Amino acid sequence: MPAELEQTVGLARDTTLLDGYAPLPRTYDELFRGNGSSREEVADLVAELDQLEFMTRQRLAESALFRGGVTFSVYSDSKGQEKIFPFDLIPRVIPAKDWESTERGLIQRVTALNMFLSDLYDGQRIIKEGRIPESMVFGTAGYLKELHGIRPREGVFPKVFREDSALGVPGLIGGYGMPFSPRASRAEIDEFAAKIQESPEGYIAQPVVELSTCPTWVEGEAAPRRVDLRPFVLTGKKSWVLPGGLTRVALKPGSYVVNSSQGGGSKDTCVLGEPAS
């Protein structure tokens, strides 16, 4: 490590990155239990994360991203400046047993989606049986009537599928301009209700969902930040789920907005294998 960086940070070499890390109360943390101890699956990782080494690697990663032109614009930035894509080197680790259930759920969902699309572009039983109204399908720009009766190769409509997922307990989740009802003001709720009345087919309600947290390097320290997971599924005769995927991070304290265009960031997602017997 360059001597000047050691002098700048003023840290001892035996300082571990996550010393003193405090998980948020009543929130599932990916690496730590509520009492502050590390989870068994990641205990070795937590103990080996040296702070000086991490800071060196974080700086090298940001330099590589800048040289490679991995940048983007933040919508809320009035200056419109390109920023380095925020990438945090503290990984999000998923145990094998948790990934197995996630993988099964993703394959189930992409199978259901394909069955839904196959029906819409063929027999349309879901409409004839009154499961959904015609206007919800035929009144949207996404439905292509020219494709009715056409069967895609191998009978698969979504060849590549991605899903935004969250681990945790009931709470909050949102996206572009979406209100968090428990926190929104009466004026914000009324304003959004008017938008829904103008174009009801463009919106969907969902139960509020609490996001899990993961240690994230922000402003010179590791702090809990909320994360979601965007896994990817490739589908043909069989479906294959890419182990891991993209973990997105809400970098602002208390925020649930993980979109990079609104100030969010990203992490590596590591899926552990089965422990040796």
39 belongs to a structural domain? yes
**pLDDT for residue 257:** 83
Q: Residue 170's pLDDT band (boundaries 50, 70, 90)?
A: very low
**pLDDT for residue 247:** 94
**pLDDT for residue 209:** 76
**pLDDT for residue 169:** 43
**pLDDT for residue 2:** 42
57 belongs to a structural domain? yes
37 belongs to a structural domain? yes
Percent of the chain having pLDDT more than 70?
83
31 vs 153, residue with greater confidence: 31
108 belongs to a structural domain? yes
pLDDT tens digit sequence for 215-228: 999 988 999 999 99
202 belongs to a structural domain? no
pLDDT tens digit sequence for 111-125: 999 999 999 999 999
Q: Residue 173's pLDDT band (boundaries 50, 70, 90)?
A: very low
84 belongs to a structural domain? yes
Average pLDDT of span 249-263: 85
Residue from 86, 72, 95 nearest 267 by CA: 86
Q: Residue 162's pLDDT band (boundaries 50, 70, 90)?
A: confident
227 belongs to a structural domain? yes
Q: What's the domain range around 165?
A: 3-173+208-270
pLDDT tens digit sequence for 78-100: 565 677 888 899 999 999 999 99
Lowest mean pLDDT among 16-30, 58-72, 171-185: 171-185
104 belongs to a structural domain? yes
Q: Is 157 a residue whose pLDDT tops 80?
A: yes
pLDDT tens digit sequence for 64-81: 988 888 877 666 555 656
Q: How many domains does the chain have?
A: 1
Most confident of 31-45, 172-186, 191-205, 256-270: 31-45
214 vs 198, residue with greater confidence: 214
Average pLDDT of span 233-262: 89
Q: Is 248 a residue whose pLDDT tops 90?
A: yes
Residue 71 Ramachandran class (φ > 0 left, ψ -120 to 50 alpha, else beta): beta
